[in-house]
Structure formats: C-alpha cells, structure tokens
Structure 1
C-alpha cells in the first residue's frame, strides 16, 4: 500500500517536468493518490505536461488572484473527485522590477502583485478548497528560507517571509477543522521560474559550495518527497512547521 493510498490531492504549479510540483504529483500518484491539477495562463502547456504523469490527471484553470475563479473552484474540483485530502500550493510570482537588486526602487503596485500571488494566495486557495476538506487534511506550500536577506531575491524574499507568517496563522485557525498547514523550504532548483530571477547563479554557487549534504540543482525529488510525507498520515500532529530540504545550508554560518 502506498503512503497516500486513497488520498485525493489538489496540486498547483505544475508548469514543467523540472518543477517540484510535477515531481510531487508524480510521486503522489505512485503512492496511490488521485491528483487534480490547476494551471493558469499557459493552459495548453500545463495540459501537455500533465500527460507526462503516470496517470494524466484533469487540469482546472485557476488564477489565485481572481475571486470568481476561487469561488468556483470547489464545484470544478467536484466534477472529478468528491472531496480532497490535501493541497499543494506551488504558486509564486514577482515582476522583474521587484527582483535582481532593485529592492529600493520597486513601486508598490509591483510589490502588491508579488505579495498577492506568492503569499496571500496560500490563504485564498486554502479557503476556496476548504469546503472539499470535510474530514480535515493537509496543506503544503513551497517556501524558500526567508530568515535572511538573499541577494537578488528582493521582494520575493519578502513575499516568502509573508507566506511563512500566513501559514502559521492558517495553522492556528484551521487546527480545529483538523487541517494541517506546513511549508517545505527547498534549496534552489533550476526551473523556468528560477531562470527568470536575475542573478540566480549566485544561489547556485552558494548551495553547491556550502550545503553540508551537498545540493543537486537539477533534482526536485528531495523536496517533493518532503511534500509527500507532509501530505500523508505520518505527520498527524505537525502544523505551522517549515521543513527545510536544502542540503542543510540553512543551519550553517559563513
């Protein structure tokens, strides 16, 4: 029996096969879960990537900043499954003006966009899907360690710090509904999203040189395995936690 046998999962952020979300979706299916994906914008690409999973899942269009999309999410999911046991939040975005060392010059509209998509959406997605989680469940979000200020990450770093706080408050308020909320803080992975961050190679050098366990920039599976574990029943009393999957770099000094 798989670790997620019988679980029904809603997974966002599967845009390419190199993404952590894709690896999580694949592992979830291999561990017995039924998966429903969401995508936005390049839907034909998401649908094409979905077909590369062991069992091609349904794909629902979802803009996490659109109130109408969020209001209709539960009904669209019910067209495929009668409820869900878990959510993977793998959605993040910041305009180019909010990255790459431009922190002091970024205008509020661009900051607000980054915060809305990357942080507030953890709350809005969870609440939109909550009616589907009648028996409780697990929400897992993708994080990047926000305890320090990273070069070039700028307002995305602020967004991740905000998401970490949002996750703790969700854990506080949803515990009585038996819903756990945790984050996986992964090291850098060479994905499409990462390639859009000016100066991303600075992260690559840091991790490959300093992570105590080493770090493979092209391997999303370690982070995906942590997601699977948190979605399973093996963490029944863990919520509001950040699990670091970064080769141990977060625990080291200069």
Structure 2
C-alpha cells in the first residue's frame, strides 16, 4: 500500500513529461492516489497527449489560474471525476524571458512583472481558494519554488515572484490551518524543465550545483523532487505547514 492510497490529488500545471508536475503525478499514482491534472490554452493539447504516458491516464481539466471563470467552475469540473480533494499541487510559474530574465532586472517593465507575480505567486492563493470547498476534511497544498532567499544570476524578476510565492504560502498556512489544510513548498535545485530552458544563463546555475551540492545533483531527474511533494501530500507530515523543504542535494546549506 502506498503513502497516498485513497487520496485524491489535483496537479495543476502539467505540460511536458519532463516537468516536475508530470513526475509528481506519476509518483502519486504509484503511491495509490487518484490523480487529476490541468493546463489551459495551446498547452492543453500537449497535456492531453502526455497524460497517456502516465501509469493510468488521468482526467485533464482546463484551468487558467488567472481566469476568474475557470477558478469558479473548477469545483464542478473536479466533482465530475471525484467527490473531493485531499491534495493540490501548484506547479505553475511564468515570467517573460525576453523582458524579465537573463540580466534584465533593471529594465523589466511593470506589466510583465505584474503578470509574473500573478501567475507565479498570487495564483497559489487563487488555487487554494478555488479548491478549498473540495477539502472539507482538510488536506495538503504543495507548491514549487526556487530558493528566493538570495539573488541568483539570470533569475531576476522570477526570483522576486518566487519570494512572493514563499510569503504567500506562509500566509495561506496561517489562514487555512484552522480548517486542517496544510500549505508547504518544495524548493528544488535546477532541473532541465521547459521553464528552465527559457531562462538565459540558467546553465551557469547547473554548473554551480554540480560542484557544490554535497549529495551531488542530477539536473535531469525530477523524481526526488516529486517524491518530496508526494510526502508532503501524504499523512506523514500531519503537523507541518508553512514550511519550505529543500530538495537540492544539500546545496542550500553550503557556504561560498
């Protein structure tokens, strides 16, 4: 019996089979969960195709976390397949690489910054609010971050958006805790995902990790991160909320 046996999990933001979201859906199914996944727009067709590569093909829901109508109808879409949720994974982030990343911090325009913060941080609150009615007996919300305690090369305004995400998770933990809903983040090291490939200069971070992470770091392996997400979704962390769990080979704990 897996650690998610009988759990109903929504993984929001699954695009490619190289994504952390996809790996999380795979591990969750292997651990006994019933999984639903989501995406929207042009990426929705890709998500529907790659869903077939999971151990069990899950329902694919259309969800744009910046669209109030999509959020309002989400409980109904979920209930078409399951009668509630025990866990939600926020695997969603976006920042325009042409204006916000790769050394463009001082020139990043507000409209693009606002979009990055809404999609990458505020959407955690939006998703939590939309799924709250589905978690009547409590549950677990897990998001994905990239350590926002320092300024990284090339990451620029996405670093600011991740800092907002980390703060948002703590306030959600505060406000949803009385309802038995835990909110945590997993901070992964650099992984060769579609999002990472869009960041100019991201390979410099990968090189740094390979020499400084005491456990080593495989930037093509999303499974360790997915396992941490699934552990936080499970009942093995019943009194943990507002936490950031690092899955980075130990890099975050090392000095320069």
* TM-score, normalisation: structure 1: 0.99
Please state if 1:49 is matched with 2:76. no
Distance 1:215 1:143 in 2: 17
SS at match of 1:51: helix
Please state if 1:86 is matched with 2:87. yes
Question: Cα offset for 1:14?
Answer: 1.5
Q: Which residue of 1 aligns with 2:74?
A: 73
Q: Which residue of 1 aligns with 2:6?
A: 6
Q: Which residue of 1 aligns with 2:218?
A: 216
Question: Cα offset for 1:12?
Answer: 1.3
Q: Which residue of 1 aligns with 2:168?
A: 166
Distance 2:38 2:82 in 1: 14
Alpha-carbon displacement from aligned partner over 1:78-98 (angstroms, at most 9, x marks no partner): 001000000000000001201
Distance 1:223 1:245 in 2: 6
Q: Which residue of 2 aligns with 1:157?
A: 159
SS at match of 2:92: coil
Distance 2:45 2:59 in 1: 12
Q: Which residue of 2 aligns with 1:64?
A: 65
Q: How many residues align?
A: 254
Q: Which residue of 1 aligns with 2:207?
A: 205
Contact (CA 8 Å) 1:90, 1:142: kept in 2 or not? yes
Question: Cα offset for 1:187?
Answer: 0.3
Q: Which residue of 1 aligns with 2:17?
A: 17
Alpha-carbon displacement from aligned partner over 1:209-243 (angstroms, at most 9, x marks no partner): 11111000100011000001000000000000000
Please state if 1:119 is matched with 2:111. no
Distance 2:102 2:69 in 1: 33
Distance 1:92 1:80 in 2: 26
Q: Which residue of 2 aligns with 1:180?
A: 182
Question: Cα offset for 1:17?
Answer: 1.2
Please state if 1:237 is matched with 2:239. yes
Contact (CA 8 Å) 1:119, 1:162: kept in 2 or not? yes
Question: Cα offset for 1:18?
Answer: 1.1
Alpha-carbon displacement from aligned partner over 1:48-86 (angstroms, at most 9, x marks no partner): 011100110000111110011001111111001000000
Question: Cα offset for 1:25?
Answer: 0.4
Deviation >2 Å, runs of 4+: none
Question: Cα offset for 1:40?
Answer: 1.4
Question: Cα offset for 1:109?
Answer: 0.3
Contact (CA 8 Å) 1:14, 1:49: kept in 2 or not? no
Moved more, 83-92 or 203-212: 203-212
Contact (CA 8 Å) 1:207, 1:249: kept in 2 or not? yes
Alpha-carbon displacement from aligned partner over 1:177-207 (angstroms, at most 9, x marks no partner): 0000000000010011111011111111111
- The RMSD of aligned alpha carbons is 0.6
